[in-house]
A and B are shown apart, each in its own frame.
Chain A
């Protein structure tokens, strides 16, 4: 899972009252079972029944330069009215983390529109070729109906890509998926499909189930079938067409 796939989007504030942010599949699965960095589970003991006032937070000797609370931050900044200047000495650590600041909230910016081009623009033909390689191998043993159904969805995927309806992360991760497929890393390919359908269901929902099925059927094949001449031929052809 690449770092790009670990992100957080804001919640849907229009539909949900105080809707929480949405984590990508990668971030959620990474968090399962991982120990908390700073478990927030402490409480302050209550004041005695004798009625002593509750302790005011901050009644501790300050380790840094004293802070002068500004009264009017809109006034021109001066040492009286501004937040404390950072000391040349390292700022007070936050939450037990080292002086290096915590990484900023990686909020997704929607710049990766469907039509953005980059240097390493993934080529749809590469992806389709590999998918068809797997499908061809399946046709020996898997029911025709199923193969045709898969083929239909692969076509839809290809069309969506070519008409610019798929965003860059989807295209990029599909490249990764077919690489894993080619290397027979079935679980890895499966995991990518799962991450894609969780993170981008509106883009991939209609056709991803075909890819899912393709992975499931291909992994059950006799390994020899994956390397018949017919199959290798389909890998060599540059044509991405799929015959019914």
Chain B
């Protein structure tokens, strides 16, 4: 391997893993001195078109508290047909089916190129996937019509054998019976009365006393498709459901002047969660909630129905003036945990001009791996296409979404697991690899990820526990194994196993080697996730101060000013939305969010990346900026004037026309696949939308130092924001003083 760059890239391509350090300090003390812990970003279901799954069960270590999977790091005695677990050193016999193996006839899981391998396992009858739509009817007519059409369309996009259900809500909550014949029936619930899971199931007629199990609990349905009238196979009910959706009306309760509609979101969700709990526990299911405004009634309400009382802002929150915040957050947190325990995920599609309560409800998606989409109206391309992309398929024509995931991590003895940050919950499994030092979701080596996609990425934090001056472990390498079990969208159960190793190094004699193995990009995202995690639970300024102590240059500057940590200019809902996506995306997308990409288009040559700096804004350039959530095309002053004058229409200025089209085409490529769909801004010098660009660039020329530059190069940004230069000088001083 020529360089660490190549090593890092190859490992990411093969295993979906990026470590902060690729050489591990062999003692606990040295590891702590490095500030950034040994940690990694891990993408459990990274797309591997070249990796065919194998059709047998993985071989496990027989030690009760180990259970690691056979992997290329294990020592094998082919003659005695015995293998030694590389984590606990237990010697295990191979199962009888492996009788024919030899060193020239190795099973795939022992070959180094299969450090990541996927198994298809047969575990009982395949469970169908379930999609439960929860739909707000307090929408404007145009929005309701657009939403109805999107839902009708989605019936053609669902996996063919999936079960589908419909709950609508406004002032009341209606659970619709889906049957193939006769008049459509529904069960109506008051939007204010909190009911227990058991009560909901009883009222829906889901509990059959005569069929109770020994403990008096309702027996699992024999044939769920028959017994549950509320969740039916889409191929049977698609026509009726299409009609039902087509006939949905706006919530009939009149909304008086100066009031908001009464929206019982909390009860609607509680019924959805309870319905699934009672009928399909531990099956892949997706609650998809569509809402056009905040919950205004019942448990989980976020704001009252008086329009003169606005929904809470950051100001209200810091002044402790947000009446419903704590109670609502607690309510949705409890629902989220119940759903997560059952492997059910909850998506939120919120389309409104004002906030809808994402701050209170974000845990529903964050804990379960569900999506959050935020738009202005259901009648927008942003919502429609984001929603369509939930059902996107890979190159094999199979759905990208996966369900019911669990991740288990094993480590060699010198390493322990501190925790994980990402769209997961703890399974609270006890074991020998758990560190007492909790980071993120800690105290466990197993997590549940109810809904996954090929880009879902967790950050995992480790602790080196080897004592100072203890000798480097025999073999010189530490290892980590990630075992992800999940339900594929084709209902197969699969297990993906990734086993990686890195060399130990003595920090005292090899500090330069360790430093050269540092992955700045991965570390930036890993530390940023930690920062966001802490910001969600602690005071903002403390997090910023803590960040300043982490000496990672450029990215920390941008992170500090990003909407993840700077709440000024973004509503609480917007912050929740940005953070939700940041804490689950893969490395490349996460980096874009922290430090947007800027490309410059001109007559001087092909498009080139340029510094995110005001000096890059020039009159004769077009800039394309990607912040992940927005794509901005900014035309410099001269370009804008030429465009306005219409030169691109004249045949002799065809090259100008090409110049105008080039960034649009490049943006298009990004727009075609990104999830969620970003906003698209076409602006120019002096345009009102130019602020999207101006707020992201480093103001190297502010009104303070404009006249100290030699000649005018870029466009001055009038702001008091700290410039990168000043910030890095300050950081350098901090670093020197803390090391002393």
Contacts and interface: CB of A to CB of B under 8 A. Distances in A.
Interface of A: 8-9, 11-12, 15-23, 27-29, 31-33, 36-38, 40-44, 46-47, 49, 51, 53-58, 60, 62-64, 67, 69-70, 73-74, 82-86, 91-96, 101-102, 104-105, 145-146, 149-150, 153, 193-194, 197-198, 201-202, 205-206, 208-210, 212-213, 216
A15 B673 contact: no
Chain A interface main SS type: loop
Contacts of A91: 654-655, 658
B736 to A, nearest CB: 12
B638 interface: yes
Interface centre among A12, A64, A145, by most chain B C-beta atoms within 10 angstroms, is A12
Nearest to B638: A69
Interface stretch (B33-41, B100-108, B234-242, B500-508): B234-242
A44 to B, nearest CB: 5
A12 B595 contact: no
Given A57-B600, A60-B604, 15 more contacts: A15-B377, A16-B382, A19-B382, A20-B381, A20-B671, A20-B677, A23-B671, A28-B389, A49-B728, A56-B615, A57-B610, A58-B604, A69-B638, A105-B661, A216-B235
Contacts of A53: 615, 700, 709
Interface in B509-541: none
Contacts of B121: none
Interface centre among A18, A27, A32, A70, by most chain B C-beta atoms within 10 angstroms, is A18
Contacts of B49: 33
Given A36-B669, A92-B605, A209 B155 contact: yes
7 contacts: A22-B381, A40-B597, A49-B728, A91-B655, A94-B662, A145-B181, A213-B239
A46 B732 CA distance: 15
Contacts of A67: 603-604, 620
Contact of B381 (A11, A27, A49): A11
Given A32-B392, A43-B597, A101-B658, A20 B603 contact: no
A86 B700 contact: no
Contact of A208 (B156, B621, B662, B700): B156
Given A12-B380, A95-B607, A201 B150 contact: yes
Nearest to A39: B669
B388 A198 contact: yes
B157 interface: yes
Interface stretch (B219-227, B278-286, B678-686): B678-686
A108 to B, nearest CB: 13
A23 B382 CA distance: 11
B666 A38 contact: yes
Interface residues of B, number: 101
A58 B153 contact: no
Given A54-B611, A209-B156, A17 B678 contact: no
B642 A92 contact: no
A15 B49 CA distance: 39
A43 B394 CA distance: 29
Given A60-B604, A94-B607, A83 B385 contact: no
Nearest to B626: A40
A16 to B, nearest CB: 3
Contacts of A44: 609-611
A93 B668 CA distance: 19
Contact of B599 (A27, A36, A40): A40
B601 interface: yes
Contacts of B722: none
Contacts of B690: none
Interface in B598-625: 599-611, 613, 615-616, 618-621, 624
B153 A205 contact: yes
A241 B606 CA distance: 61
Contacts of B377: 12, 15-16
Interface in B633-656: 638, 641-642, 645, 647, 652-656
B679 to A, nearest CB: 4
Given A40-B624, A209-B156, A54 B672 contact: no
Contacts of B689: 18
A73 B645 contact: yes
Contacts of B677: 20
B410 to A, nearest CB: 32
B380 A15 contact: yes
Nearest to B553: A46
A12 B381 contact: yes
Nearest to A67: B603
Given A43-B609, A86-B653, A94 B680 contact: no
A49 B732 contact: yes
B438 to A, nearest CB: 34
A84 B654 CA distance: 10
B474 interface: no
Interface centre among A8, A27, A193, by most chain B C-beta atoms within 10 angstroms, is A8
B665 interface: yes
A149 B664 CA distance: 46
B431 interface: no
Contacts of A210: 239
A107 to B, nearest CB: 11
B149 interface: yes
8 closest A-B pairs by CB: A16-B380, A33-B395, A20-B680, A22-B381, A31-B672, A11-B381, A15-B377, A42-B609
A155 to B, nearest CB: 14
A197 B239 contact: no
Interface in B361-396: 375-377, 379-385, 388-389, 392-395
Nearest to B245: A205
A117 B124 CA distance: 57
A211 B626 CA distance: 41
A1 to B, nearest CB: 14
Contact of A21 (B381, B389, B652, B673): B381
Contacts of B380: 11-12, 15-16, 19
B3 to A, nearest CB: 16
Nearest to A28: B672
Contact of B152 (A64, A194, A201): A201
Contacts of B156: 193-194, 197-198, 208-209, 212
Nearest to A38: B666
A51 B726 CA distance: 9
B713 interface: yes
A83 B653 contact: yes
A114 B246 CA distance: 23
Contacts of A64: 603-604
B260 to A, nearest CB: 20
Nearest to B624: A40
Given A93-B606, A201-B152, A28 B388 contact: yes
Contacts of A55: 611
Contacts of B384: 22
A206 B246 contact: yes
Contact of A201 (B153, B553, B653): B153
Given A74-B645, A92-B606, A29 B382 contact: no
Contacts of B661: 101-102, 104-105
A19 B654 CA distance: 28
A15 B376 contact: yes
Given A20-B382, A20-B678, A69-B620, A41 B654 contact: no
Contacts of A31: 669, 672-673
Contacts of A17: 376, 679
Contacts of A60: 604-605
Contacts of B239: 146, 149-150, 153, 209-210, 213
